[in-house]
Structure 1
Amino acid sequence: MQEILLHLPYFGPVSHFRELVKPAGICFENEDNYQKQTYRNRMYIYGANGKLLLNIPVKHLPKSKQRQHQKYRDIKIEKDLKWQKQHWKSLKSAYQTSPFFEFYEYEIAPLYLKDYNFLMDFNYDCFDVIRSCLQLEIDFKKTEEYFNDANDFIDKRDLINAKKNIEIPEYVQVFQDKFGFLSNLSILDLLFNEGPNTTNYLKSLK
């Protein structure tokens, strides 16, 4: 059976986790170049005023070196900005009235207290927390070289593109009565609203 090749996002969208629950091996792309405007350092949640972007600030190369490519695994987080405090505050504000926020918050909150240097390290920890919350046994590998044509894999790396519009079936969201259903938000939106049913929902997606 072919493995599914994916990028590692920051609490990726529902469409990303739909692939992770499929009965196939998972391989994360560790050798790609970093690109802006992707789910590597951003997620979207449902805030009181609609769709809300949470973005992790990253260190940029000096202007003299900005034409050079940086590997995703080498991207450092910009620590001068108090993004962790702001992201956790936004998550609490958005989901503290959701059915399952209190059930999971003590597993997720430590991510916003620990000091991280590299974005990829943080994202792997986010992934581990979701696996724990959903009690998912997901074995995965990491690439050791970059494949431009990943013919030996089921290539789903395009799911990292935050501009990609993907529609998914509705579930009940906290502020849905105000702005309607918002499709393909962060896995946290599904988790806080659906709780233990999250895995069944993901497996039902085509």
Structure 2
Amino acid sequence: MRIEIHYLPSIEYMALVYAASEVQFEVFENFPKQTFRNRTRILGANGIETLTVPILHASGGKQLTKDVQIDYGQDWIRRHKGAIQAAYGNAPFYEHFEPFIQQIFAKKTKYLVDLNIHYFMFLTKVLGKTIPHSLTDTFALDVVDSKWNQIQAKESWEERSNYKVTPYRQCFGDHFEPNLSVLDLVMNHGNESYDILMQSLNK
């Protein structure tokens, strides 16, 4: 399956990925604005919070996803680490997974794709099931079994048919918030997360 690579991806995204035998991350697309490629959603005390990785914009406007560089001139790492700690500091598995998150941030990878892949590999390790993955070496719209660009930040998951609401224990709120970053799931359920994740796939 061909799909774009997201930052700390949603439950919907990871369930789709695990439904495939292998994935190929599309990196030769023209990088689009306001997508999950550089943003994620977590649940804090004040509700859902969106975390965005700032990027350096190319002088000519358009740039390929593989060439997008992270803007470390902005203090985003401190904000993301602080938000994750505030959201999940009391979660059952926070102390177990927090060191790995710190290590990934500490790498200060130059390219957004590399940051996203580090987190993808971390999450698949936590979920207990690796999946073969590679990067595209060209761009093609007619790829069979492609989910490329179908999960849009500007539309609700309810407008798609991929995700089935499967409630689990969360840290905050009186009602369940669906389809957050899979980080929300693993912080609360650890090695039970894979089964919950696969129940969330609308087959």
Label 1:106 to 1:58 Cα distance change in 2 as closer, same or farther (>3 A): same
1:203 alignment partner in structure 2: 198
Contact 2:45–2:173 (8 Å) recurs in 1: no
Structure 2 match to 1:78: 71
Aligned to 2:81: 88
Alpha carbons of 1:94 and 1:20: their partners in 2 closer, same or farther (altered >3 Å)?
same
Q: Which of these residues, 135, 142, 153, is aligned with residue 162 of structure 1?
A: 153
Secondary structure at the aligned position of 1:84 is classed as helix
RMSD over aligned CA atoms reads 1.5
Q: Using the alignment, how far apart are the partners of 1:114 and 1:187 within structure 2?
A: 21
Corresponding residue number in structure 2 for 1:127 = 120
SS at match of 1:52: strand
Q: Does residue 117 in structure 1 map to residue 110 in structure 2?
A: yes
Number of equivalences: 195
1:11 pairs, out of 8, 15, 18, with: 8
Task: After TM superposition, give the deviation of residue 200 of structure 1 in Å.
Answer: 0.6
- Asked whether the 8 Å contact 2:27–2:136 carries over to 1, the reply is yes
Q: Is residue 7–residue 160 contact of structure 1 (8 Å, CA) maintained in 2?
A: no
1:21 is paired with a residue whose SS is helix
1:35 alignment partner, one of 32, 40, 43: 32
Identity over aligned residues, as a percent? 30
Matches of 1:52 and 1:120, distance apart in 2: 22
Say if 1:21 and 1:161 are closer, same or farther in 2 by CA, change over 3 A. Answer: same
1:58 Cα shift? 0.5
Are residues 1:185 and 2:180 paired?
A: yes
* Partner AA of 1:197 in structure 2: E
Instruction: Return the TM-score normalized by structure 1.
Output: 0.89
Letter in 1 for 2:100: E
- Shifted more, 37-46 versus 193-202: the winner is 193-202
Residues in 2 aligned to 1:198 and 1:164: alpha-carbon distance in whole angstroms: 25
Give the C-alpha shift of residue 5 in structure 1: 1.3
In structure 2, what is the equivalent of residue 175 of structure 1?
172
For the 8 Å contact 1:41–1:56, the answer to whether it is kept is yes
Opposite residue 124 of structure 1, the aligned amino acid is: I
TM-score scaled by length of structure 2? 0.90
Q: For the residues of structure 2 that align with 1:123 and 1:93, how far apart are their CA atoms?
A: 22
Runs of 4+ in structure 1 off by over 6 angstroms are none
CA offsets 1:6-48 (integer angstroms, 9 cap, x no match) = 1100011110000122252211112111011111100010011
Question: SS state of the match for residue 69, structure 2?
Answer: coil
Q: 1:55 — aligned with what?
A: 52
- The one-letter code of the counterpart of 1:56 is V
- Equivalent residue letter for 1:137: T
Q: Which runs of 5+ in 1 are unaligned?
A: none
